[in-house]
Structure 1
Amino acid sequence: MSDDPVKARETSTGSIRTPRQRLRAWITPALRPWRLMLALKTAIAATAAWFLGGFIPGELGEFSYYAPLGALVSLTPTLMDSVRSSFQTLIGLGLGIGLAWALIVSPAPGWVSVALSVGLGTILAGLPGLGQGRDYVPIAALFVIIIGGANANEFSLGYLVQMALGVLVGLLVNLLIMPPLFVRESAAGITAARARMVDALRTMSTTLSSETEPAPDDPPPWEGSVTSLRHDIDAARGLVRDAAESRRANPRTRWNKHDFRGDQGALEALERIAPAVVELGDALRAALWGIPVPVRLGTEVRGTLADALDAAANLVDAAIDDERLPEALETSDRTLVALRRAVRSAHVDAVNRAGPDGGSASGSADDPADDPGGENLLFALRRIYAEVESSKRTDQAE
């Protein structure tokens, strides 16, 4: 048991998080600026819908308490999602009300109508394309039968009209009050994934350059970064998707000059580079730990490989339009040439040691898993270089 009164938890990346840090990480997503703005707009829309709902003449105005609910369901982070969910909700309400009326005019007793409204409503909710509106099919049917009762006609019309009013108010508020653009979040997600990739490559280079051999029981120092890299790229992909959705029909795109296409290109490049980084980690794990298969990596190759890994890290760290990119490409190319020569030299030495009969002192010359020169490592590094260079050419062509 630790003597420290504050118990900390170790994450998959090896960092220690205190209870306060875990609590902050749990609360922070709910306090992001765009969510606080969404909460403010929802409050404004619900209040305005309730106020306006009371001005509808006749008995329809008596159901104004449903207008705030319509505003609530129509407010989502992006405009297009708001439009989509609003229409889906109204369609779901229409289906539920129609089902309720079918049961009302049927000879079924009240308790049977309640059961059928929920059961058949749940079945209808499974229709494709209803989206968020599927939840309101059984709810609307149940409300009309139970709450509407003898006044089902007025209730059904008032329920639908007030919900539609709230939806309209919510859409207008979402359109007029700072419709969100998630381009900053998108760029931040890509930056985080890029930083994770750079950290993995530099850790590999540092491990190779170290004069101390890693202990056989220790996990590779880069394992946490490589494992988290997959999660970071998935998260960045989701953020880019959200940013693309937030731009649709958004008037703020007219004066927002963020290079969203550049974000998409950067993410696609990282997605193509990530498998090469994972392959590098697996190959180095095999070379240093013999897992999952033993791979020989001569000392004559390690130095140039460490330089190539460090150059690859600098290359990935350079943005598509970064002024450092040409120099990073040149340095990476130079280290790859040196590594290619070292790999060829290692293979020549291995062949010479094997002798004319193809045998070797270790008896592993014919083992297909035996890689005395690190060809797979060279291929993965060349793949990273090619992807970055290709991204640069594409950016210049545009």
Structure 2
Amino acid sequence: MDARTTASTDGLSLGRLGQWIHEAVRRPEFTTDALQIVKTVVAATAAWWLAVYVLESQMPFLAPWVALLTVYPTVYQSLLRGAQSTVASWAGVGVSFLIGNYLGVGLWTFALAIAVGLAASRLPWIRDEGVAIATTSVFILGDGFTEQQPMLLDRIIEVAVGAAVGLVVNLLIIPPLRDRQAARYVDYINLRMGRVLITMADEFRSSWDTDRADAWTWEIESMETDLSSAWQSVRSAHESRRVNPRLHLHGPIRSSQSGGSADYDEILGRVDEGISHLRHLARTLREATYAEGEWDTRFREQWVEIVRSAGHAIADPDREVESIDERLAELSADLSADEHLPQRSWPLYGSLITSMRLIAVVVDDVASAREAREG
């Protein structure tokens, strides 16, 4: 392999890496995850600073530890799970002090503290964060308990400080509204659907094979994964709007037509239908690679332009395109009047036209859904 070949291969690898990074950054959850990391770092660092420089704690790790446990994706979760973490940590402090003061710190008492903590963590009302009982006991007993004999009240205060800092940070630093994330998911999936249609049109114009059809199918299956994440985001939307100060600054998303809130269940249901129709279209084109005979030139050219227009309309709902449904109706009428069109071609052409007519309905719904979300 010469230097030019090596450079070309390296350039291709870097290009793929850059494309992967670009796609990863554009994914809807990237911003949410990045913000969650920032908030957690800020909360833990602030709690550590308070423990060291304000409380002058002998065990400054308790406050940042609880702060880490408190910063959840939504404010409601931070309140609920933060309260559980605080109670569990207080219980862990109590267990460690009882065992440390009355039984001492040794191999079997260390094991006893963990066993008691894990058993208590099975309580239904604290089960989600109950393991903090055992971990807090491990931290305190394993950090030189017998030498330091730290005050019980100080440890309780540090735990409370950590929980308070975590909650305050989640309240102040852009509390998440998951309906915004759901909106980004919808736009992202629509963009991918549009790109697949445009790619289909470009490749179908010249030639295509089963490998290309398989690539389309893989992309569509990947969309279904994103759609599952979108459904999960929608299910979390109501929770994210509880105890959220941003609601005083931003009113609920309204529909410009009905005046009601955007129905993401309905919107994602329509997107799900669009993906289903797109999958059927890709399967039909894949099976058509084995069909005998030549494609009708007029059908191929007109259908390709319709598919490309539909792709642009879904990827960019603000873009002006001619009516997809009307163009499909005209294509059907022209072909039905053609006496020279082979009879065996109609089932295939009819299936492709039907799939695109169903997708055309989704094209209209995409624009309506955006109006509902942005109205």
TM-score (norm 1): 0.68
User: How does 1:53-72 map onto structure 2 within 5 Å?
Assistant: 53-54=55-56, 66-72=62-68
Partner residue in 2 for 1:360: none
Superposed counterparts of 1:244-283, under 5 Å: 245-256=239-250, 259=253, 262=262, 264=264, 266-283=267-284
SS of the aligned residue for 1:230 comes to helix
SS in 2 for 1:374: helix
Deviation at 1:197, TM superposition (A): 0.7
In the alignment, structure 1 segments of 5+ residues that lack a partner are 55-60, 352-364
Shift of residue 334, structure 1, vs aligned partner = 0.6
Q: How big is the shift at 1:109?
A: 9.7
- CA drift at 1:218: 5.7
Aligned partner of 1:172 in structure 2 is 168
Give the conservation status (yes or no) of the 8 Å contact 2:310–2:363: no
Higher RCO structure, 1 or 2 (CA under 8 Å, sep 6+): 2
Alignment map for 1:150-299 (pairs within 5 Å): 156-181=152-177, 186-210=182-206, 213-214=207-208, 222-223=216-217, 225-237=219-231, 245-256=239-250, 259=253, 262=262, 264=264, 266-287=267-288, 289-290=289-290, 294=291, 298-299=295-296
1:140 pairs with 2:136:
yes
Shift of 1:122: 3.9
The match for 1:361 is none
- Partner-residue secondary structure (3-state), 2:6: coil
Query: Which residue of structure 2 lines up, in the alignment, with residue 7 of structure 1?
Result: 10
Q: Distance in 2 between matches of 1:121 and 1:33?
A: 32
Aligned to 2:74: 78
Partner of 1:48: 50
Q: Provide, for residues 304-353 of structure 1, a one-character-per-residue CA deviation record: whole Å limited to 9, x for no partner.
A: 4323323422442354xx4x5xx65x6112122134436756899666xx
1:336 paired residue among 309, 328, 344: 328
Separation in 2 of the partners of 1:214 and 1:3?
A: 30
Match of residue 372 from structure 1:
347
Identical residues among aligned pairs (%)? 22
- Could you say if the C-alpha distance between residues 228 and 390 of structure 1 is closer, same or farther in structure 2, counting changes exceeding 3 Å? closer
Measured after TM superposition, the shift of residue 174 of structure 1 is 3.0
| 1:91-110 map, 5 Å | 91-97=87-93, 110=106
Task: Name the count of aligned residue pairs.
Answer: 357
Q: Which moved more, 1:128-137 or 1:74-83?
A: 128-137
Whether the 8 Å contact between 1:298 and 1:372 is mirrored in structure 2 is no
Q: Distance in 1 between matches of 2:246 and 2:238?
A: 13
Contact map agreement 1:346 1:373 (CA 8 A) in 2: no
SS at match of 1:175: helix
SS class of match (2:279): helix
Matched AA of 2:224: R
Quote the residue 1:358 is aligned against.
none
- 1: CA distance between counterparts of 2:127 and 2:8? 48
In the alignment, residue 3 of structure 1 is paired with which amino acid? T
Q: Which amino acid aligns with 1:316?
A: I
Q: Distance in 2 between matches of 1:17 and 1:203?
A: 18
Q: Give 2:16's aligned residue.
A: 17
Tell me the distance in 2 between the aligned counterparts of 1:276 and 1:47. Answer: 56
More helix by share: 2
Q: Which has the larger radius of gyration?
A: 1
Q: Is the 8 A contact 2:89 2:133 kept in 1?
A: yes
| Alignment TM-score, normalising by the size of structure 2 | 0.71
CA distance in 2 between counterparts of 1:17 and 1:217 reads 19
Q: Conserved in 2, the CA contact under 8 Å of 1:181 and 1:246? A: yes
Aligned equivalent of 1:302: 300
Q: Is the 8 A contact 1:75 1:170 kept in 2?
A: yes
8 Å CA contact 1:67, 1:166 repeated in 2: yes
CA distance in 1, matches of 2:210, 2:366: 39
Q: Provide the secondary structure at the position in 2 that maps to 1:179.
A: coil
In the TM superposition, 1:23-34 aligns within 5 A as 32=34
SS at match of 1:249: coil
Q: CA deviation at 1:33?
A: 5.8
Cα separation, partners in 2 of 1:191 and 1:339, compared to 1, 3 Å: same
Q: Hey, what's the Cα distance between the residues in 2 that align with 1:391 and 1:17? A: 30
